[in-house]
Amino acid sequence: MSEYSIQQFIEQTKQDESENDYFELETPRILEVNLMDQVWAKAGSMISYNGEIKFEREGILEHGVGRLFKKAMTGEGSALMKASGRGRLYLADQGKKITVFDLDGESITVNGNDLLAFEPSVEWDIKLMKKVAGMVSGGLFNVTLNGSGRVAVTSHYEPLTLLVKPGESVITDPHATVAWSGHLEPEFRTDISFKTLLGRGSGESIQMEFKGEGFVIVQPFEEGHVSSE
């Protein structure tokens, strides 16, 4: 472990006052939001703030009855909070690495557990993975985001992007899948021999298959699995 005087440590780790972009990566695992109006963020992700900021849980009818129904189906994992006001807001999620995307009329689908924050200009909708709700512990849900604005996504360790090409499908473990092109519709399949070969937990035999053209982002970690190693 490195040794610092307190002053050296402060200089090494202090916030950068010169940054004023809407979303700034203060460190690879802490997002700074230079709030001028409002932002949507994962409930419980605030670690610090200054200025005049008010926090509210997502209102019951904030986004209509349809999304409320889907939210109830997917549980608290999809809970969002709205931060309103002016100031600096710092967000993090269990020390996960943060990636910021700047959408320009594009669409991205994010695993609900891996969505950290997005600008209010970005349109979003929750999508249920009905086929695997009973097969994967806790079920799975995604949030599709499109339009223009910043989106912050988290991953355990460094993410890897896999390209999906026509005739070359990409197959992933649902627990390790962070995000993918918004227009791609993954198919779910089970492979008993795959499960038997690995001799691992019950969720291991479920796979996501992506076909067409686009990208899939995976992480070197299986969300929801506890390793005994």
Token pair of 141 as six digits: 């849900």
| H or E stretch covering 165 | none
For the chain, the domains span 19-218
Which CATH code, of 3.60.160.10, 3.30.450.40, 1.20.120.80, 3.40.50.300, is assigned to 19-218?
3.60.160.10
Residue 120: pLDDT band with limits 50, 70, 90? very high
Q: Please tell me the predicted confidence (pLDDT) of residue 107.
A: 95
Mean pLDDT of 14-19: 72
Are 80 and 155 contacting, i.e. CB atoms less than 8 angstroms apart? no
Answer with the residue of higher pLDDT: 57 or 177.
Answer: 177
Token pair of 71 as six digits: 């939210």
Half-sphere exposure of 122 (CA within 13 A, CB side): 26
Residue at 99: amino acid letter: T
Of the chain, the percentage scoring pLDDT greater than 90 comes to: 54
Answer with the residue of higher pLDDT: 112 or 86.
Answer: 86
Kindly report, residue by residue over 96-109, the tens digit of the pLDDT.
999 999 999 999 99
The per-residue pLDDT of the chain, averaged, comes to 82
Q: Please tell me the predicted confidence (pLDDT) of residue 229.
A: 28
CA-to-CA dists, residue 204 to 98, 134, 155, 191, 218, angstroms: 26, 14, 19, 9, 15
Q: Please tell me the predicted confidence (pLDDT) of residue 108.
A: 95
Mean pLDDT of 14-31: 85
Of the chain, the percentage scoring pLDDT greater than 70 comes to: 75
pLDDT at 18 over 70: no
Answer with the residue of higher pLDDT: 159 or 227.
Answer: 159
